[in-house]
């Protein structure tokens, strides 16, 4: 099925947050700090305030004081980032919001923002991970799955002593910044003194509502959040950041609706990013290649005023069978904005360094990388000692190797060449956990025989409109053309954040539950014994061996204008009995210039096992998108922090490199049919994030196979090969 929202997007009628217009709308532009740490001594707004069209300039000197302590329920949410709302003169990181200009037009606001003059008292800042390792601390345990910060099983030291082969190295991933096509934007409208409407680019309308309400001292039902379309998010639009609340404050101050858009350079700092990580990975194996010990000690950066842990050691706990295992997480507080969720948080950096180490150990054992992985395949979850709900990883290895042509790959590095070009082939394992949260949905039968299905979820561009329409139509027994699905509004039934690849596993199952409930109501209204006896064809309703009438007649006969059902779905006891993951295998061929070290990815093959695939088009799109990001992580992305200035210096699309069409080769994304009776009623698993896991490692391992040089620090640039 093609995307139901596809035409709206390509014709420009799909409305994104910044495209909502309301009467008397004015514009806000943030002024952000040019220093990494210190205090504002003075703000000269005279020239800016007299610029044509300027309505008001908010600074810490005139912004209304907000409640100091948000509600406890808000503070306990993992996405409740601490924000900077012009409440004091303290500067905590570079690019922190320090003033907000409100003007009649966007142009006036931008020009006036450049006229604001700020003087600072500088304090000594620190943003470097390596130089602060001695100050690393153990973070508080938590996260969406309440995972343990550190976990030990067996005796890793003994496992290393008894081993025949060992690897022990430092691996790193750089800062990476979410750069979706749509930047963050908010339109704030006060409909009454205590009634706020937000059109916001958010991955979680309900979390957004609660966070804004708590920060402004309102009741959650006083805030409505609308977000029908997102131009990507990748995790950055999960938390509620400073600009959302500042837009609401500004609108209240000028008594007019305010639109506030974050600029591309302002995406680097105040709205999250993936932390720079450093992992010491040690792995050991016996003479026959059996893992005897595996250890992953990961350290990442967080901000000085908040905590976000990148759980990158998690894959080392469960991906391979080993009796002796140790994984730890440590954080270093530095003067940066708070890191946050970024596509496959923890699992993207974690798998893509672990899988290099596993490749190294396979070579140390003189074993083919696939053979080594099969030797140490975990037949049950070694972390939790539970069976998998389903696991088709071996089939992913087999099918991927067959489609990629792995059997033609010689073992020795630098053994394939085309003139001055070195050719390498590499592979790696992908994995990502299945998340699921409580969700609700509503289904309505209209007199004309059409159906309206509603849930307050979000569509990041992944195809939520399409998939929910399919699920509802399938459950109702009608063509998808008879179903309209509506989302992105806190006035609709509550659903979780669109993150952690849980939108369909959560909201999809609630849509099915609501459609099933409506089908049951319809069965009763039609006087049938079972739902199978009821047939809906257009506007007519037929009962097997009985009556046939229009739906309008049926509703009138029962004194109804429409038929409606609301239902919810939530995780069951199966989540405590089984470990639930998507798995996959990725293969890459690279071509490296022998003289210059220039790397090109020639082709990639990915095979995934993600439960029931509802829509091949949208599934392939998501798998391929993740694989493209694997290329980006391996070769391109690096938000470069200037230690002297404490700020990202390549804060634009000209210098923050991401793949373009010329960088993306032939990509083949496949999957194996997988039946999982335990994971959820629909039998579906996570798709959106698994594609990035392991993809970069497959490329890194291919670079080693081509050149004989092992690069352990992403991105792999030509200077590291020369």
pLDDT confidence tier of residue 225, bands split at 50, 70 and 90: very high
* H or E, element range at 171: strand 165-173
689 given a catalytic annotation: yes
- CA 501 to CA 688: how far, in whole Å? 5
Coil, helix or strand at residue 106: helix
Q: How many distinct structural domains can be found in the chain?
A: 3
CATH number, domain with residue 479: 3.30.365.10
Query: Is 604 in the same domain as 681?
Result: yes
Q: Are 353 and 315 in contact (CB under 8 A)?
A: no
Q: What is the mean pLDDT of residues 669-694?
A: 97
**Residue 546 in this model has a pLDDT that exceeds 50:** yes
**pLDDT value at residue 77:** 67
The pLDDT tens digits of the residues spanning 301-338 come to 999 999 999 999 999 999 999 999 999 999 999 999 99
Average pLDDT, the chain: 96
Q: The tokens 């409440």 sit on which residue?
A: 87
Coil, helix or strand at residue 308: coil
What is the dihedral sign for C-alpha 251, 253, 254, 255? positive
| Residue 287 included in any domain | no
421-433/581-593 β-pairing: antiparallel
The pLDDT tens digits of the residues spanning 266-282 come to 999 999 999 999 999 99
**Residue 208 in this model has a pLDDT that exceeds 70:** yes
Q: Please identify, among 570, 605, 638, the residue that sits at the C-terminal boundary of a domain.
A: 570
Rg over CA atoms, the chain: 27
**Residue 74 in this model has a pLDDT that exceeds 80:** no
Query: Is 114 in the same domain as 81?
Result: yes
State the CB neighbour count (10 A cutoff) for residue 671. 23
Coil, helix or strand at residue 432: strand
The pLDDT tens digits of the residues spanning 491-534 come to 999 999 999 999 999 999 999 999 999 999 999 998 888 988 99
| Residue 482: DSSP 8-state | G
325-334/421-433 β-pairing: unpaired
Among candidate residues 464, 457, 468, the one with its CA nearest the CA of residue 206 = 457
Query: Is 453 in the same domain as 374?
Result: no
Q: What is the mean pLDDT of residues 250-270?
A: 98
Domain that holds residue 466: 439-570
Instruction: Give bridge partners of residue 351 from the DSSP assignment.
Output: none
**pLDDT value at residue 545:** 84
| Residue 145 included in any domain | no
pLDDT confidence tier of residue 146, bands split at 50, 70 and 90: low
Helix axes 695-707, 616-635, angle to 10 degrees: 50
195-200/223-226 β-pairing: parallel
| Residue 11 included in any domain | no
pLDDT confidence tier of residue 129, bands split at 50, 70 and 90: very high
The pLDDT tens digits of the residues spanning 497-509 come to 999 999 999 999 9
**pLDDT value at residue 147:** 77
What are the phi and psi torsion angles at 20 (to 5°)?
-80, 130
Query: Is 209 in the same domain as 64?
Result: yes
- CA 279 to CA 274: how far, in whole Å? 15
**Residue 142 in this model has a pLDDT that exceeds 70:** no
Query: Is 103 in the same domain as 82?
Result: yes
| Residue 710 included in any domain | yes
**Residue 72 in this model has a pLDDT that exceeds 90:** no
Coil, helix or strand at residue 670: strand
**Residue 657 in this model has a pLDDT that exceeds 60:** yes
What is the dihedral sign for C-alpha 485, 487, 490, 493? positive
**Residue 17 in this model has a pLDDT that exceeds 60:** yes
Q: What percent of the chain has pLDDT over 70?
A: 98
Q: Please identify, among 237, 262, 287, the residue that sits at the C-terminal boundary of a domain.
A: 262
Coil, helix or strand at residue 76: coil
Query: Is 428 in the same domain as 445?
Result: no
CATH number, domain with residue 253: 3.90.1170.50
What is the dihedral sign for C-alpha 572, 576, 578, 579? positive
- CA 546 to CA 690: how far, in whole Å? 50
**Residue 132 in this model has a pLDDT that exceeds 60:** yes
**pLDDT value at residue 76:** 54
State the CB neighbour count (10 A cutoff) for residue 607. 28
| Residue 359 included in any domain | no
- Among 111, 210, 383, 689, the one annotated catalytic: 689
**pLDDT value at residue 73:** 53
Query: Is 452 in the same domain as 554?
Result: yes
- CA 611 to CA 584: how far, in whole Å? 12
**pLDDT value at residue 257:** 98
pLDDT confidence tier of residue 144, bands split at 50, 70 and 90: very low
Q: Please identify, among 570, 589, 609, the residue that sits at the C-terminal boundary of a domain.
A: 570
**pLDDT value at residue 716:** 98
| Residue 111 included in any domain | yes
CB neighbour class for 9 (10 Å; exposed up to 12, middle 13-18, buried from 19): middle
**Residue 78 in this model has a pLDDT that exceeds 90:** no
| Residue 99 included in any domain | yes
**Residue 137 in this model has a pLDDT that exceeds 90:** yes
Q: Are 57 and 102 in contact (CB under 8 A)?
A: yes
Cβ neighbours of residue 27 closer than 8 Å, sequence gap 6 or more = 102, 103, 104, 105, 106, 108, 109, 258, 259, 260
Query: Is 420 in the same domain as 474?
Result: no
Query: Is 96 in the same domain as 202?
Result: yes
Query: Is 118 in the same domain as 26?
Result: yes
pLDDT confidence tier of residue 69, bands split at 50, 70 and 90: low
Query: Is 460 in the same domain as 580?
Result: no
Query: Is 417 in the same domain as 503?
Result: no
């Amino acid at each position: 099925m093609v995307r139901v929202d596809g035409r709206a997007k390509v014709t420009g009628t799909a409305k994104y947050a910044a495209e909502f217009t309301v009467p008397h709308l004015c514009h806000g532009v943030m002024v952000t700090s040019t220093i990494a740490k210190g205090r504002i001594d003075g703000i000269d707004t005279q020239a800016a305030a007299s610029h044509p069209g300027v309505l008001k300039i908010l600074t810490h000197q005139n912004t209304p004081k907000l409640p100091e302590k948000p509600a406890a329920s808000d503070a306990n949410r993992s996405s409740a980032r601490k924000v900077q709302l012009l409440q004091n003169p303290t500067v905590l990181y570079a690019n922190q919001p320090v003033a907000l200009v409100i003007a009649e037009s966007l142009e006036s606001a931008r020009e006036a923002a450049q006229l604001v003059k700020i003087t600072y008292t500088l304090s000594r800042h620190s943003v470097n991970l390596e130089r602060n390792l001695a100050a690393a601390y153990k973070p508080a345990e938590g996260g969406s799955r309440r995972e343990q910060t550190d976990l030990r099983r067996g005796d890793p030291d003994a496992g290393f002593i008894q081993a025949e082969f060992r690897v022990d190295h430092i691996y790193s991933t750089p800062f990476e910044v979410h750069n979706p096509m749509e930047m963050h934007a908010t339109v704030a409208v006060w409909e009454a003194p205590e009634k706020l409407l937000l059109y916001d680019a958010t991955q979680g309308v309900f979390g957004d509502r609660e966070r804004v309400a708590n920060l402004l001292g309102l009741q959650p039902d006083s805030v409505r959040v609308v977000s029908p379309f997102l131009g990507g998010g990748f995790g950055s639009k999960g938390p509620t950041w400073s600009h959302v609340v500042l837009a609401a404050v500004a609108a209240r101050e000028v008594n007019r609706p305010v639109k506030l858009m974050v600029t591309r350079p302002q995406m680097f700092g105040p709205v999250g990013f993936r932390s720079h990580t450093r992992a010491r990975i040690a792995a050991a194996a016996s003479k026959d290649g059996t893992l005897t010990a595996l250890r992953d000690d990961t350290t990442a950066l967080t901000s000085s005023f908040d905590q976000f842990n990148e759980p990158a050691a998690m894959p080392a706990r469960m991906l391979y069978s080993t009796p002796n295992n140790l994984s730890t997480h440590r954080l270093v507080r530095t003067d940066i904005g708070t890191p946050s969720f970024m596509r496959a948080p923890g699992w993207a950096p974690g798998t893509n360094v672990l899988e290099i180490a596993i490749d190294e150990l396979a070579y140390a054992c003189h074993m083919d990388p696939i053979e080594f992985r099969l030797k140490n395949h975990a037949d049950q979850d070694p972390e939790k000692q539970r069976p998998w709900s389903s696991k088709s990883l071996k089939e992913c290895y087999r099918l991927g190797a067959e489609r990629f042509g792995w059997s033609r790959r010689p073992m020795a590095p630098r053994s394939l060449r085309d003139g001055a070009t070195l050719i390498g082939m590499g592979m790696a394992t992908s994995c990502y956990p299945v998340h699921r949260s409580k969700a609700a949905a509503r289904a309505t039968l209209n007199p004309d025989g059409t159906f309206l299905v509603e849930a307050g979820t979000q569509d990041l561009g992944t195809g939520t409109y399409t998939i929910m329409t399919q699920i509802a139509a399938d459950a109702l027994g009608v063509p998808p053309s008879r179903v309209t699905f509506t989302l992105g509004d806190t006035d609709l039934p509550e659903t979780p954040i669109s993150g952690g690849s849980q939108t369909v596993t959560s909201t999809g199952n609630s849509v099915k539950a609501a459609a099933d409930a409506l089908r049951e109501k319809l069965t009763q209204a039609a006087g049938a014994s079972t739902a199978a006896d009821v047939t809906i064809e257009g506007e007519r309703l037929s009962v097997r061996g009985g009556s046939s009438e229009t739906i309008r007649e049926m509703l009138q006969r029962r004194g109804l204008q429409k038929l409606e059902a609301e239902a919810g779905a939530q995780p069951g006891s199966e989540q405590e009995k089984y470990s639930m993951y998507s798995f996959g295998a990725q293969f890459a061929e690279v071509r490296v210039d022998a003289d210059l070290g220039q790397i090109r990815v020639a082709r990639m093959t990915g095979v995934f096992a993600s439960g029931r695939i509802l829509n091949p088009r949208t599934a392939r799109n998501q798998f391929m998108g993740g694989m493209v990001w694997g290329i980006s992580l391996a070769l391109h992305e690096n938000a470069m922090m200037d230690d002297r200035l404490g700020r990202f210096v390549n804060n634009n699309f000209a210098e923050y490199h991401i793949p373009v069409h010329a960088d993306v080769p032939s990509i083949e994304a496949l999957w194996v049919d997988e039946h999982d009776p335990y994971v959820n009623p629909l039998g579906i698993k996570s798709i959106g994030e698994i594609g990035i896991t392991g993809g970069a490692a497959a490329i890194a391992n291919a670079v080693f196979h081509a050149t004989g040089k092992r690069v352990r620090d992403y991105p792999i640039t030509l200077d590291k090969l020369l």
